[in-house]
Amino acid sequence: MADPKRPRKPREVERDVRNLLAAPLDVDELKEKLDSLVEEPAFNGLTWIWGPNLYERDRVRFRPFILRHFATFLIDHRWNWRRVRWKGSVAESLDAWLGRVDDEDDVELFRRLIAWKLERRVGWGIDHGQIQTELLRRYGRARTRAERAVVLAKFDIWFGLDESAAMELYEIDSEASRAFISRHLASTWAWGSERRVLWEQFAELAKSRGDDDLAFQLYRRQVSAKRWTEDVLRLCDTVHVPEDLVEELSKRHPEGWGLDLGKTVHQIVLKRGRESFPYVIPRLKTIWSPWVWGRPGYAELLKLAKARDWIDLWAALIRVCAKPDEFNKEVRRLLQDHVMAEAEIQQRLLALVGVAREWNFPGLGLAQVHQLDDTTACAIYDRFPELLRGPFRLHLQVGWNAAFDGLLERLLDHEEEELIDFLASRYVTRAWFGKGVDRALERLSDYYERLREEKKDFARRAAAVLNHLPSYSIWSYDALIEKSRLARLLFERAAGDYLDDARAMSDLVEAADIHVQAFAYRALGRDDPRAKAIAGENLELLLGTLLRTLRRRTRLPAFAALRNAANSPENARRVLQRAREALDLPDKHYPKERLVGLIGQILHDWPELRGAGERPVIFGAAS
């Protein structure tokens, strides 16, 4: 008997798909049957077979399914993959579908199909020549701006225009095409500037129409470092009003990677001094990166900033562009200075504090700060402990083998509770570590074990550690619990101890990290009078778990906490109302059977809340 979990051959999956499509099934029946096939690796690669058929049957109801499983390559039963080429019988099926999609102005599907049809025969990506030709043909035939907007939306996929094509689009309708052209400039983000060629003719055309914004955008994306250097140094000599200079320099600042801008920036500052700072300082992260070898012009500009006592420029250079060892060296240099006034030293140290670089994406933001080494952290604590407790605390981060042995010893000796808890929060997430981190973990584990044994504010202190954990800081909870004694203590062994402090438990329910939240749900779901009382007090927060997106492993403990929270008729009524709403959620992975169990348990505890259809019916023999 064949193993049901073993992937089937593509021809077997294709046979089943064709049989399903030929069967007299309604839409719901067909969707159900197809759902049983989508787990096969080969299914998505048969888009050219099932896609046109489903779209023709009911494009509204099948469109989400098509987009979810659309693929231009096929994976076989051995997990090898190959492209599905647009030719032969495949092309015959897809050409008709592309025509229907085009007529319906289905933008998303058109993009996928046209990119498939015009993909390069050798290599990757789209044939830029073919797609430009097709775009210009359609754009030229469009009679209204609305029609042109639809054409551009359909071709808004990843490819680069050449200058002549961009100019043709712009001359036909500059307003409609400006944003499209900006998104499809030929790639100028290659490493270095040797491949950058400025579209002089197009830039002049834009300027002649008063479109300076587009002209300068072309300049920033395409200008070479040599041409930019000539232009900005000329501006430094000819533009005398500082505000005008900053504006002109900002308009021309190149966009791209690996551009050699540092020496030119040094010359700009030499020529115009502080007048150039509003332009230079905000753009330091685009000029030098601490990870790139060389950083031409960086050392010269840093030396100039120190010589002229430009503290704002010096601090920005160290914070944004310095390597970690350079950052620590500058901090120690200030701490070892016993000539400068202490207030001035602190002011300069504070200028170095903060985020060096950041990256922001939809739903996710990342920030980089310089890490203090143990020697520097100890020096700050010895001379200005309030700075380490405050602004410099952000710079206490634990790396692979970056241990704070000296600092930890000082903190433990002086009972620096807040700093100990913060440092413990950086160590407790380490599942893989070197010897230095291992030593610190053992000392911290011993410390919190003593607190637990002495019942000395353990719940408050341990909750403070967990509340300091940033989001996504635990990669694998199971591995962490297996390898870290400190994590086992705080997350598992002492779970019941947190119930001694209702405020600490409330804080854990709102923690930033999802593993801490799940831990709070497990604690509040315990069969313990303290858990029931605290869960009831936090009902408002717990109700949100019924409708938010959670993994099963987190949701089930939340159900247990909610049952404990239903400790009064009013609380039980609110939980039941929200639980019944959750039953209607379309999430297929939601554990509805466990949700029904929760509803049943609450109705058993509070029978007066049962609805007409929820009362037990007892059947007996007829009298």
Question: What's the rounded Cα separation, in Å, for the pair 239 and 234?
Answer: 8
CA distances for 267 relative to 239, 249, 271, 281, 301, angstroms: 15, 13, 6, 14, 9
**pLDDT value for 194:** 54
- In the numeric block, the tokens 């001035």 are attached to 344
Cα(464)–Cα(421) distance, integer angstroms: 6
pLDDT, average across residues 108-131: 89
CA distance 450 to 28: 62
Helix runs in 80-224, H state only: 88-103, 107-117, 128-141, 145-154, 163-172, 174-183, 200-208, 212-222
Strand, coil or helix: 358: strand
User: If you average pLDDT over residues 470-494, what whole number do you get?
Assistant: 92
**What pLDDT was estimated at residue 376?**
97
Given a cut of 90, whether residue 521 has pLDDT beyond it is yes
How far apart (Å, rounded) are the C-alpha atoms in residues 259 and 252?
Answer: 14
Backbone angles phi, psi at 397, to 5 degrees: -120, 145
* pLDDT tens per residue across span 327-373: 999 999 999 999 999 999 999 999 999 998 888 877 778 888 999 99
- 317's CB contacts (< 8 A; 6+ apart) are 284, 298, 301, 302, 305
Round to whole Å and give the CA distance between 358 and 72: 36
Q: Are 151 and 135 in contact (CB under 8 A)?
A: yes
Letter for the amino acid at 352? L
In the chain, the N- to C-terminal Cα span, in Å, equals 56
- Residue 415: phi, psi to the nearest 5? 50, 50
Mean pLDDT rounded to a whole number for the chain: 92
Query: Where is average pLDDT lowest: 104-118, 136-150, 285-299, 449-463?
Result: 285-299
Which range is least confidently modeled, 211-215, 399-403, 409-413?
A: 399-403
Task: Determine the Cα–Cα distance for residues 378 and 400; give it in Å rounded to an integer.
Answer: 20
CA atoms within 13 A on the CB side of 63: 12
What SS3 class is residue 161? strand
- Nearest residue to 511 via CA among 557, 559, 473: 473
Supply the pLDDT for residue 509.
95
The per-residue pLDDT for range 534-545, each reduced to its tens digit, is: 999 999 999 999
Window from 184-198, 318-332, 443-457 with minimum mean pLDDT? 184-198
What is d(CA 159, CA 125) in angstroms, rounded to the nearest whole number?
A: 8
Confidence (pLDDT) at 442: 92
Of 191-205, 455-469, 495-509, 591-605, minimum mean pLDDT range = 191-205
Cβ count within 10 A of residue 481: 16
> pLDDT at position 401, please?
61
Q: What is the pLDDT of residue 2?
A: 43
Q: Which residue has the tokens 């007409």?
A: 612
Most confident of 123-127, 301-305, 616-620: 301-305
The band of 1, judged by pLDDT with boundaries at 50, 70 and 90, is very low
Lowest mean pLDDT among 98-112, 178-192, 199-213, 398-412: 178-192
Q: Is the dihedral of CA 563, 564, 566, 569 positive or negative?
A: positive
Q: How many CA atoms lie within 13 A of 161 on its CB side?
A: 27
Structure-token pair, residue 366: 């990342």
C-alpha–C-alpha distance, residues 23 and 439, integer Å: 67
Q: What is the pLDDT of residue 588?
A: 83
**What's the rounded Cα separation, in Å, for the pair 518 and 374?**
33
Q: Where are the beta strands (DSSP E) in 209-353?
A: none
Confidence of residue 54 (pLDDT cuts 50, 70, 90): very high
**3-state DSSP call for residue 464?**
helix
Mean pLDDT of 115-120: 92
Give 224's contacts (C-beta < 8 A, 6+ positions apart).
193, 194, 196, 197, 198
- b/e string for 230-253 if b means 16 or more Cβ within 10 A? eebeebbeebeebeebbebbeebb
| Pairwise CA distance, residues 49 & 191, whole Å | 42
Per-residue pLDDT of 186-197, as tens digits, reads 755 544 545 788
